[in-house]
Structure 1
Amino acid sequence: MSIIGTVREVLQASTQSTNRGDVTDEESKGAYWCDDCGERVRDVDVEGEAPPDCPTCGDEMRFERSTGTTGCAC
């Protein structure tokens, strides 16, 4: 197999999957952020409706919606 054929196969395989490392089947709508620590917690990892406290400093985290379709809340 030629190097061009190998590269073509790798590129085709990388664009076929819509799963970009998301380990859960749940659809994330954003993430909770701590403005002081920069800590991030995905919304699907939080139980309950109230904003969680930051695991690092204990302050209440704020919710930020994801604007993309990649599952990233950035």
Structure 2
Amino acid sequence: MEFVSNLRETLKASTESANRGGGTGDNSKGAYWCHDCAERIRDVDVEGENSPDCPDCGAAMEFERSPSSTGCAC
């Protein structure tokens, strides 16, 4: 029974996390992606308001928001 109790506590703790969705508390709203190269640059690492160019291929990167607090990006 201890296994079931431990499992239940683990699942309960994972759903109570205040920081779900991968955020690190630094006000990041998402990241810029190059889908061709799979390159990712977090928005807090980009200076200015323009989309950066991919460091690998030079194409304009696309902004995508972070998943919501439920872990879903829908």
TM over 0.5: yes
TM-score by length of 2: 0.68
Aligned equivalent of 1:22? 23
Aligned pairs, number? 72
For 2:23, give the aligned amino acid: D
* Secondary structure at the counterpart of residue 55 of structure 1: coil
For 2:26, give the aligned amino acid: D
* Structure 2 unaligned residues grouped into runs of 5+: none
Q: Give yes or no for the alignment of 1:57 onto 2:54.
A: no
How far residue 35 of structure 1 moved from its aligned partner, in angstroms, is: 3.2
Q: Is the contact made by 1:34 and 1:61 (CA closer than 8 Å) also made in structure 2? A: yes
What per-residue deviation string (whole Å, max 9, x for no partner) do you get for residues 4-62 of structure 1?
Answer: 1111111111111031332233041x321213212122222211111111122222212
* Structure 1 unaligned residues grouped into runs of 5+: none
TM-score by length of 1: 0.68
Q: Is the contact made by 2:28 and 2:43 (CA closer than 8 Å) also made in structure 1? A: no
Identical positions, percent? 61
